[in-house]
A and B are shown apart, each in its own frame.
Chain A
Amino acid sequence: MSLIDLANPSRFLALTARALPWLAAATVLAFAIGITEVYFAPDDYQQGATVKIMFIHVPAAWLGVFAWIVMSAAALGTLVWRHPLADVAAKAAAPIGAAFTLMCLVTGSLWGRPMWGTYWVWDARLTSVLVLFLMYLGVIALWRTMDDPAQAARAAAVLTLVGAINIPIIKFSVDWWNTLHQPASVLRLGGSTIHPAILVPLIVMAVAFTLLFVTLHVAAMRNEIMRRRVRTLMMLQAGARMGP
């Protein structure tokens, strides 16, 4: 079976019906291991126990950005190959990405208050992540403004690719500008600066969050395919009522 075969909506539904329970089980298992690791992780020598917020804040930030990268790849599928499953992937990823970005903003704010003395500051990293969240809301709103899914998909794809310029800005904002937010400490040239006792739980939680994203995205894609089938049936019903 080739990749293009998997891109068939009916085959996608059949395949994911079998894969989804396994994905959900893997997600639960990863979170069980991750939460246990977090429980036993030592306090940071400077930040104390507040470092525990990092185990949800950082994976949420990564997934908030990752979801936009997924949407950008799907946008190329929409604009270049005009494949309807690419539209479905992009539309299904937007609310999930928005939720992870919101989680990043909320947990970051709750981490910032005891460590920085403020819930919010308009520095480049925080502002660029807030822009990402607003772009998610914009894409979701755009999808809802058009009845025709194919037309909405093309408009949303253009907006997504334009918005992708914010991704490197988020990543390098802490290097390009003076920010209250700390510079990269995990994904950086020269390796991580975090002690393994804290890095390992962080990586396990990042894997758990990634599995959660994949599980939710697949489930949301299945819903979106069903929604389009409902739309098709409604049009057939309306056509039958109008007669020949």
Chain B
Amino acid sequence: MNLGPHAAFIVTAYIAATAIVAGLIGWIVLDRRRLSRILDDFGAQGISRRSTRADADKW
């Protein structure tokens, strides 16, 4: 594929878009891991939400 005289701009645009999407995915995945770990720690300490025993509407 010949991208012509402006190849650098095209390639940089795709790299930038990929980096932004990768950053977004990475942030969401790491955030989930961190929150899961904290919730697991609470579970190990025997601390649970009242909602798990009663009302599913609560957080």
Contacts and interface: CB of A to CB of B under 8 A. Distances in A.
Contacts, number: 109
A226 B36 CA distance: 8
Given A49-B4, A50-B10, A232-B49, A226 B39 contact: yes
B13 A110 contact: yes
A48 interface: yes
A212 interface: yes
A50 B6 contact: yes
Chain B interface: which size bin? 35 or more
Nearest to B2: A49
A99 B20 contact: yes
16 contacts: A8-B56, A10-B56, A11-B56, A48-B5, A49-B3, A53-B10, A106-B13, A106-B17, A110-B12, A111-B13, A114-B5, A114-B9, A226-B36, A228-B59, A236-B50, A240-B47
Interface residues of A, number: 44
Contact of A96 (B5, B24, B47): B24
B35 A223 contact: yes
A56 B13 contact: yes
Given A49-B4, A114-B9, A99 B32 contact: no
Interface stretch (A136-144, A172-180, A214-222): A214-222
A19 B38 CA distance: 24
Residue picked from A11, A52, A111, A114, most chain B C-beta under 10 Å:
A52
B32 to A, nearest CB: 5
A237 B47 contact: yes
Nearest to A100: B20
Given A48-B6, A102-B20, A114-B6, 4 more contacts: A49-B3, A49-B6, A52-B10, A106-B17
A163 interface: no
Contact of A99 (B3, B4, B23): B23
Contact of B13 (A39, A57, A84): A57
Interface of B: 1-7, 9-10, 12-14, 16-17, 20-21, 23-25, 27-28, 31-32, 35-36, 38-39, 42, 45, 47-51, 56-59
A48 B36 CA distance: 49
Interface of A: 8-11, 39, 43, 48-50, 52-53, 56-57, 60, 84, 95-96, 99, 102-103, 106-107, 110-111, 113-114, 212, 216, 219-220, 222-223, 225-233, 236-237, 240
* Among all A-B residue pairs, the 8 with the closest Cβ atoms: A10-B56, A114-B6, A226-B35, A228-B59, A110-B13, A107-B13, A49-B4, A49-B3
B1 to A, nearest CB: 6
Nearest to B32: A223
Contacts of A220: 28
Nearest to B28: A219
B49 A229 contact: yes
